[in-house]
Amino acid sequence: MRRRISTFSFIAPAFALLALVLFAPVLYGTWFSLQEIRYGTPSGSAGLANYARLFEEPELAATLARTVLHTSASVILTIIVSLALSVWINQMRPTAAFVVQTVVIIPWIISTVVAALLFRWVFLNDIGLAASALRALGIPDVQILASPAGSMAILIAVSVWKRIGYAVIILLSGLKGIPDDYLEAARIDGANGWHIFRRISLPLLKTPLLLVAIVLTLSNINTVETPLVTTGGGPGDATRVLAIEVYERAFTIFDLGGATALALLMFGANILLVIAYVRLSGWKA
C-alpha cells in the first residue's frame, strides 16, 4: 500500500498539470457550448441549440469537404516526399546529409505565420523570386490565387512545405534504427534496393509512419495560421476550412457558442481519428 502511494506521488504532479491544461478547458468548453451566449457571457442554458444550429447550415458540409481534401492531400504528399527524402539522406555522406537535413528542417522550426508569409512572398507576390524567374523566362504573371483550384493547391503546397521537416526527422530516425544485419542479409540473398525497401525498411517503419500520419493529420486539421495567412479562405470560400470557420465565428461574427460547439466537435473528431489510425494499422505496444 505504501509503495502504491509513493508511486502515485511521483505521477500526481504530471496528472494535475494535464488536468489543468487539457481536461479543465475541455470541460469548461463543453459547459460553455451548452449555454446561450450574449455579449460574450453565458446568460442561460441553451441545451443543444448551438450544435443544432451548426447542422442546419448547408455551408458547413462544403467546409468539411474542403477540410478533408486539404488534410488528406497534405498528409499523403508530405509522407511520400518525406519518405523519399529520408531514404535519400540516409544514403548520403554525413556532411552532405547534415546540410540537406538543415535545409529541410528550416520551414518546420520557424513560426507558422513566418513560414506562410515567406512562402507567399517568394511564390505568390508580384515581386517575389518565383514571379521574377517566370518573367525572366518570358512567362507572363500567373495569378494562382485567383482560381479556387489554384488556391487549394497553394494551401496544400504550403502545408507540405511547412511540415515536411518534422516527417523527415521521424522517418530518418526510423531508418537509422534498422539493424544493418537485416539489410546485409537481404543483399547477400540477392535482393535489390527496391525489394529491400519494400520488404524490410517499409515494414519496420510502421510505428514512425503511424506517428507521422497522426501528427500531420491533427496539425493540418487544427492549424488556422497557414490557411489564414496564405489564402485567407479565398477566393470566395474556396479554401475556407474548419479551422478558419471556428476562428471567424469566434472573432469576426462573435458567435462564441457556435464556435465553441464546432471546436468541441473537431476535438472529438481528432480523438476518433487517432483511434482509427491505431486500429487500422494494427499497432501493438
The pLDDT of 94-120, averaged and rounded, is 88
Least confident range of 98-107, 109-118, 123-132 = 123-132
What is the C-alpha separation between 124 and 120, in angstroms, rounded?
Answer: 5
The pLDDT of 271-280, averaged and rounded, is 84
What pLDDT was estimated at residue 145? 73
Confidence class of residue 283 from pLDDT cuts 50, 70 and 90?
low
pLDDT for residue 284 is more than 60: no
Q: What percent of the chain has pLDDT over 70?
A: 92
111: left (phi over 0), alpha (psi -120 to 50) or beta: beta
For the chain, where are the alpha helices, taking DSSP H only?
2-18, 24-33, 49-55, 59-90, 94-109, 112-119, 129-136, 148-176, 180-188, 193-196, 202-204, 206-222, 225-230, 242-251, 256-281
Q: Which residue has the higher pLDDT, 283 or 182?
A: 182
What pLDDT was estimated at residue 4? 65
Confidence class of residue 217 from pLDDT cuts 50, 70 and 90?
very high
| Fold topology of 51-281 | MetI-like fold (1.10.3720)
What pLDDT was estimated at residue 213? 92
pLDDT for residue 232 is more than 80: yes
Residues 156-209: tens digit of each pLDDT: 999 999 999 999 999 999 999 888 888 888 888 777 878 888 888 888 898 899
What pLDDT was estimated at residue 231? 86
What pLDDT was estimated at residue 243? 93
pLDDT for residue 89 is more than 90: yes
Least confident range of 47-61, 73-87, 128-142, 194-208 = 128-142
What pLDDT was estimated at residue 207? 87
What is the C-alpha separation between 17 and 135, in angstroms, rounded?
Answer: 55
Confidence class of residue 242 from pLDDT cuts 50, 70 and 90?
very high
Confidence class of residue 87 from pLDDT cuts 50, 70 and 90?
very high
What pLDDT was estimated at residue 27? 85
Domain boundaries, the chain: 51-281
Mean pLDDT of the chain: 85
What pLDDT was estimated at residue 3? 65
Confidence class of residue 21 from pLDDT cuts 50, 70 and 90?
confident
Residues 49-66: tens digit of each pLDDT: 889 888 888 888 999 999
Q: Which residue has the higher pLDDT, 97 or 37?
A: 97
The phi and psi torsions of 246 (rounded to 5 degrees) equal -65, -45
What pLDDT was estimated at residue 166? 93
| Strand, coil or helix: 191 | coil
Residues 31-50: tens digit of each pLDDT: 888 888 777 777 888 888 88
* Contact assessment for residue 33 and residue 252, using Cβ atoms and an 8 Å cutoff: no
255 alpha-carbon distance from chain centroid: 26
